[in-house]
Structures are given as structure tokens and as C-alpha cells.
Structure 1
Amino acid sequence: MIQIIVAIFITGYGLSITCDRINHGYRLPKLIPKEIIILGIKGTIVYMVYFTIQFYVLNYIAYMYDFLYLT
């Protein structure tokens, strides 16, 4: 449980740094917990969707070329 909270916080802060850098910021953004948690949850959802799509596409390709046997 703690690992999930820390991962959300790190993801949120990383996205906060990215947003600040896109807006031509030169310093690290302030630690605003509410904003960081919201960005972290959004980022985690996007990562889950991305990895799910990637999993199904690669699984399909591997199955078509007989690299993966689904039994």
C-alpha cells in the first residue's frame, strides 16, 4: 500500500516537473500535495492504459508468430 502511494507521488511530481519545464520554468516546482497526487493518479491511469494496449498488441503478435502458446 505504501509503495502505491509513493509511486503515485513520484509520478505526480515527475509530471509536475515536466509541465513546469514545458512552460519554460527553470526551477523545481513547489511541493503542493493535492496537485501532485492528482497528477500522479492521472499519470498512473495513463500508464496503465498504455501498458495494457502494449501488452495486448505484443501478445497478439507473439501468438500469430507462434512465440507464445496460450494453453
Structure 2
Amino acid sequence: MDGSKLYPADIEGYRIRYRLKTEEQFRSVTVNNGSATEHTLTLEAGVYIFTIATIDSLNQESRPSHPVTASVI
């Protein structure tokens, strides 16, 4: 989070935050695999907002990504 460079070998995992667009609170799931390129969530239909952050080997979390909106049918 301090802006220093993060090397792929230092990535321990990711934190995915998501919520229905109509909700206030984000839910989160932690992916404890730094080399993961996908993760499956089971969601009900609706419009969701997602962000993702990187977790490094010191358990420090990056700033979250810009929000992305997706519709689940």
C-alpha cells in the first residue's frame, strides 16, 4: 500500500470484495493462492460491484482496484 513495487513471487493471494448494487456493505472472500487467475463465486441474480486487492507475503493489502460492475442473470 506504500506504493513500492510488488514482484509476482511476493504475492500470497487476493481479497475480492463484492456487493449487490442495492446493498451498502461489501462481502469479501480471500483467495490464498498468489498464482490464481480465476475464482468462482456463487451469486444470486442481480447487479454486483466488485473490487480486488493484492495480499503480499507480509500480509499487507494493496489499495483496492477501481470498482467493476457486472450483471448476474
- Normalized against structure 1, the TM-score is what? 0.21
- Normalized against structure 2, the TM-score is what? 0.20
Greater fraction strand: 2
Greater fraction helix: 1
